[in-house]
Amino acid sequence: MRQLYFKRDVARGVNGTYDWLVDEVQELGAELKKGTDREATEKEFADVIAWLASLANVMGIDLESAAVNKYNYKCPKCQRSPCECTF
């Protein structure tokens, strides 16, 4: 995603890229509500992760490292896998 869209993402900036991410999350929600077209749903998931990656690129954040640092195959609250939190 960095190679594909980085220049455009940086030109758009953090706020503009975040607004696109929100739009894509809403589109995913609409598609989930319809719940009829699996292929379309997969594409909406792809769009959300693409825009999340774009936003991370603009911020200079590595999305995968961020996820591994926080979750690292165990729940960050109870430290277990599967999670055993009782909330």
Residue numbers at the binding site for its own copies (CB under 8 A): 1, 3-8, 14-15, 18, 21-22, 25, 28-29, 32, 35, 38, 41-43, 45-50, 52, 55-56, 59, 61, 63, 65-67, 69-71, 73-75, 81-83
Instruction: Find the angle CA(19)-CA(37)-CA(54) to the nearest 5 degrees.
Output: 25
Rounded to the nearest whole angstrom, what is the least distance from the CB of residue 42 to its own copies in the complex? 4
Rounded to the nearest whole angstrom, what is the least distance from the CB of residue 55 to its own copies in the complex? 8
Peptide bond into 76 cis (omega under 30): no
- Integer Cα distance of 45 and 33 in angstroms: 14
Rounded to the nearest whole angstrom, what is the least distance from the CB of residue 9 to its own copies in the complex? 10
- Integer Cα distance of 55 and 9 in angstroms: 8
